[in-house]
Amino acid sequence: MRRFLALLILVSFFLINSLTEVSAREWETLKGGNFIVYYRSGVPEDFVQTVMDSAEDDFKQVSENLGVSRYQSWAVEKRASIYIYSDADDYVKNGGQAGWSHGSALIATKTIKTYPSDEGFFDALLPHELGHIMLHEVVGKYANIPLWFDEGVAMYQEKAKHIGAQKIVQESLLNGQFISLTALSDMRLYSNSDQATVKLFYAESASIVNFMMTQLGEARFYKFCRELKENTRFVDALPKIYMHIENLEDLNKKWVEYLKGK
Ligand SMILES: [Zn+2]
């Protein structure tokens, strides 16, 4: 019995402790058309408002880029959530995030987590993560798409659109480091992946999606995404939507020709 009492006291101690922890860590909210921003008290109001305004602007821009602006709205029940933690420490400890990251997105729950920092949040991170979330709305949450396609579409949304990517890929063609689309499609990235390979992977992803969007037509890109939503395999959707592109090798050839001609 004594033991039980001791255990009970211990359990209540932890319970009370965790409850006060929760109440001390409550969220304030700001509701917008397509987003709800949750933020810790103490986060500057103008920062919160800028996050909301940027998110709404990016939402319009990404919808336009993906060709879905006429249909797209996350009003009320479908609104996405953005959590702004107090600082890096709060973000890592309570947000369950890695120390090196400044923001992250959970596609399934349409949730973005971040904290006030000047690491390119507005120009890159916010539109990039929105790109992932919105792409998966278009192609379906469980679409089986290659990682390069997912990342390339997300990078296409960033303000600078990875202008440097084209140059990196062109150099890789000259020095023989270039990874063909077929090989790129099989690639997986790990925390211990070689840095140069990771850099080239992202550059190629940005470059090929840029090529598909700007050279093969945005309207066709949208059709392609709709086809993927029908659960058509990526490699089968290609010849169905794009004329003269039978497979990944054909797409690779056209992309490389374009890069060499530039
Ligand atoms: Zn990404």
**How far away, in angstroms, is 1 Cα from ligand 1 center?**
55
**How far away, in angstroms, is 19 Cα from ligand 1 center?**
35
**How far away, in angstroms, is 157 Cα from ligand 1 center?**
11
pLDDT tens, residue by residue, 224-239 = 999 999 999 999 999 9
**How far away, in angstroms, is 93 Cα from ligand 1 center?**
22
Selection from 47, 109, 57, 53 nearest residue 84 by Cα:
47
- The stretch 179-203 carries a mean pLDDT of 91
Q: Which helix H or strand E contains 8, and what residues bound it?
A: helix 2-24
Q: Report the pLDDT value the prediction gives residue 183, as an integer from 0 to 100.
A: 97
176: left (phi over 0), alpha (psi -120 to 50) or beta: left
pLDDT tens, residue by residue, 65-116 = 888 876 667 765 689 999 999 999 999 999 988 877 788 888 889 999 999 8
- What residue ranges do the domains of the chain occupy? 26-139, 147-261
**How far away, in angstroms, is 132 Cα from ligand 1 center?**
7
pLDDT tens, residue by residue, 14-65 = 554 444 444 457 999 999 999 999 999 999 999 999 999 999 999 999 998 8
**Cβ–Cβ under 8 Å, residues 178 and 172:** yes
Selection from 241, 149, 251, 159 nearest residue 202 by Cα:
149
What topology is assigned to 26-139 in CATH? Glutaredoxin (3.40.30)
- Give the whole-angstrom CA distance, residue 51 versus residue 48: 5
Using a CB cutoff of 5 Å, list residues around ligand 1, an ion.
151, 154
Q: Report the pLDDT value the prediction gives residue 239, as an integer from 0 to 100.
A: 97
> Model pTM?
0.82
- The stretch 242-251 carries a mean pLDDT of 95
Q: Report the pLDDT value the prediction gives residue 74, as an integer from 0 to 100.
A: 74
**How far away, in angstroms, is 35 Cα from ligand 1 center?**
20
**How far away, in angstroms, is 153 Cα from ligand 1 center?**
9
**How far away, in angstroms, is 230 Cα from ligand 1 center?**
23
Place of tokens 């084209």: 166
**How far away, in angstroms, is 129 Cα from ligand 1 center?**
6
